[in-house]
Amino acid sequence: MEPNDSSGQGQPPAGQPTPYYLPVNKRRPKKKILMIAAVAVVAIVVLAAVLVVFSAPPKGSADNPPHTTVPKTIPTGSFTTVSTGSVSSNGGQITGSLSGLKIEVPTGSVSDTVQFQVSTATVTESQVEGLPTGASIASKMIKIDTIGTTEWNSFKMFDNVLTVTLPYEQSMVQNEERAIRFYQYDEAVHTLEPTGYAGQDVNANTLTFHVSTFSKFVAIEMAMSFFEGLNSSFAVDTGFRPANDGWFIPNYGSYLASGGNCLGMTSFAKWYYTFEKSSSGTGLYSKYRQGSASEWRDDEVAIQLATRSQVGLQGIWASLTEEEKENYSSKATGLSIIHGLLVSGEPQLLGLKTKYNNGTWGPGGHAILVYRYANGRFDTYDPNNPGTSAGTDQQQIPYTFSGGFSRVFKSGLNAANPLLFNVFYHASAKVFSPNNAFKGIYDMAENGFQGNSIFPKVELTDSESDTYGTTPIDSNSDGLRDTSDNKMTISGTITGGQNPVTKTLIFVSGQKFETTIDANGVFSQEVPLYAGDNDVVILATDSNTFTNWAGYLRTTVKSTASPASMTITMSWDQGSSDVDLHVLEPGANGTEGRHIYYSNKGSDSNAPYLDFDNTYGYGPEHYYATESMGLPDPSNPGTYTSLYGKYEIRAHYYRDKDSDSENIQPITFHLHIHYLMFMDEQTGTEYWGDVYYDGYLSSENPYSASNFHSGDASWSGTYSFQYLEPVPSNFGVPNPPQNTFAW
């Protein structure tokens, strides 16, 4: 922890747990506190103390503060059920008698029906202990239980992000209701984890946030004096230090869109610091160092652990939600981070995005940890820059109560060529995971992921190893598989293991694909490739990707193909089904463009084309347009125009092929448009954009497939994408737009 302030005020007695402090002239009188929590009264150990100090340590110090714990006890009376309901793969909404309660479940969030039960209880006020000075309870304890299949009950994590709105109690607000945030209370390990922030309705007394799993929730108000002090010498420190508690290996991808592992690495580092460091006595930075002490590429256990952590969370990360995008003009983000540091005592997960001058959003994103606030700046751990000392300028984000965020955050494998991010959001419970999720893969990492009786063996097949192998070979003996195409069919076998598996997940540069495994353990899947090196991970599992017995293989495939100017990808969540991607290309001079689909795929030489027709389920299907191609001019056959223009996209449910002949299997489909917005010819920098759509189909009809304009129920609506010719001046990255507040 940080040393106490030089004034000598508030020194804790020797040998006593470090308490929380407020400035002497702003310390509030102790108020009566009402709380709601578990029926069983237990001692709650939160795994880090936060010391608020009033002078910061020297910048660049390589200190190693102790990770002190502070007991938190939150007893309650009996819980009363206020709402029940169920949600299937079609999604839905849970409401009830609790005013303001709303749980929105997107389509495709679960595979099978999940039951919800919402209940509330009143805190036993006299027995509440461990909250920081200036904190008070502002709601009932709200318990949300979910019950499903045996597989669901192991982790209880949704595949998509849910939007939750919960009420706080106006009568319990002591100062300023905008300083209220909800927290997840984990009954098993007795911690408080902030939910983050997606909006507040002060008239309805509700807060909205995003989650991927449920527990108990309670609203906590912090004294405004904390936040008013953000322009002074206020500081708060969790004790985390990147050079001790971060990873030794770097994020070997740089950001999510290109296959990086930043989300998994930061989330696991936070989990390890919270739950394992005190018992192991070793910081994460010192663990899993194999081979050369100065080289990370031979640290295979660390790389596999980071990858497994990433794929366990990747499905719920996705891009910013619309609510989070709206937060860029408010002070809510910075206040939420400070709030979380104070109440939870743990580092906070911060999401990063890029918004260009023209208002468009950059692709992908990045995840870092905020572990300290001092000198008007957040200190962060960025897995792209491992081992940095506290106070390193590049790893800081300036923030004050009056000025907000005042500069972009620069991230990258070197400071001279950084990625620039100017939009920040408090991710928190959006990617919160139950304790057993990381515990399982951690225990396996401690054993070096050894054990042939546990892990299925994953092997790739190619033309040199198998007559039917299709994975690219290493043609030039440089250690990398390579191809001149912008796609490949990856093939292999998965055999043995603790449990039989019938499908496998394949991750290629951050994109997830699912394919079946036949009775002989053979799999094959066509996947797209980016120009350059593509990180390929195969995870053999029939269950949640946090499972600790999944087979694993990682390799790199290099593509020397022309960079794609645009790729439209369609996938869907159901097997035994035939769904088709349809693209109507831009027209010219009043003549409609080509209708590209399975019966008119186009050429892969001069014009855009559809790669193949997936008739058995899941997808993906891809429409490719590379920078060397042009669109056939429908008004002047034999000539070509640029790729720019208006594209119309639809999904069509051709046929249900499952074993239930009485009912049509509903389909949840996903469209992803990945396109080159601008390329700076002088620097070689490429600016890519991403657009996502999700939809639902419940009717099949193979007889309407050729009519793009069909009104039949087997067709989705029409998604229009305007591919615009770039304006170079639009692609600068301005200072953070959050510096203008709307309180």
The strand pairing partners of 490, in sequence order, are 525
Cα–Cα distance for residue pair 296/302, rounded to 1 Å: 9
Place 47 in a pLDDT band, splitting at 50, 70 and 90: very low
Whether residue 42 has pLDDT greater than 70: no
Amino acid 466: pLDDT: 92
Amino acid 722: pLDDT: 95
Summarised one tens digit per residue, pLDDT across range 548-584 is: 667 888 899 999 877 778 999 999 988 889 999 999 9
Distances, alpha carbon 489 to alpha carbons 50, 462, 553, in Å: 52, 10, 16
Cα–Cα distance for residue pair 281/293, rounded to 1 Å: 20
Cα–Cα distance for residue pair 186/167, rounded to 1 Å: 19
Q: What is the mean pLDDT of the chain?
A: 81
List the chain domain ranges.
Answer: 45-224, 236-430, 451-561, 562-743
Whether residue 706 has pLDDT greater than 60: yes
318 closest CA partner among 89, 161, 91: 161
The predicted model gives 705-712 an average pLDDT of: 96
Place 337 in a pLDDT band, splitting at 50, 70 and 90: very high
More confident residue, 372 or 611: 372
Angle between helix axes 262-275 and 435-446 (nearest 10 degrees) is 90
The predicted model gives 488-507 an average pLDDT of: 86
Q: Which one of 3.30.70.1050, 3.30.200.20, 3.20.20.140, 2.60.40.10 gives the CATH number of domain 451-561? A: 2.60.40.10
More confident residue, 742 or 407: 407
Summarised one tens digit per residue, pLDDT across range 617-658 is: 888 899 999 888 999 998 888 889 899 999 999 999 999 998
More confident residue, 461 or 410: 461
Place 284 in a pLDDT band, splitting at 50, 70 and 90: very high
Percent of the chain with pLDDT over 70: 83
More confident residue, 20 or 428: 428
pTM of the model: 0.73
Summarised one tens digit per residue, pLDDT across range 194-246 is: 998 888 899 999 999 888 889 899 999 998 887 877 776 788 999 999 999 99
Cα–Cα distance for residue pair 313/161, rounded to 1 Å: 11
Distances, alpha carbon 684 to alpha carbons 169, 678, 681, in Å: 55, 10, 5
The predicted model gives 170-193 an average pLDDT of: 87
The predicted model gives 134-141 an average pLDDT of: 93
Place 344 in a pLDDT band, splitting at 50, 70 and 90: very high
632 closest CA partner among 683, 585, 567, 691: 585
Cα–Cα distance for residue pair 282/275, rounded to 1 Å: 12
Q: Is 344 exposed, middle or buried (0-12, 13-18, 19+ CB in 10 A)?
A: buried
CATH number of 562-743: 2.60.60
Summarised one tens digit per residue, pLDDT across range 6-17 is: 333 333 333 322
Amino acid 480: pLDDT: 93
373 closest CA partner among 336, 415, 422: 336
Cis peptide before 13, with omega less than 30 degrees from 0?
no
- 2-6, 98-102, 443-447, 698-702: least confidently modelled range: 2-6
Whether residue 721 has pLDDT greater than 50: yes
Cα–Cα distance for residue pair 184/179, rounded to 1 Å: 17
Same fold, 45-224 and 562-743: no
Whether residue 144 has pLDDT greater than 60: yes
What is the phi/psi pair of residue 446, to 5°? Answer: -60, -25
Asked if the 45-224 domain carries CATH number 2.60.220.30, the reply is yes
Amino acid 24: pLDDT: 26
SS3 257: helix
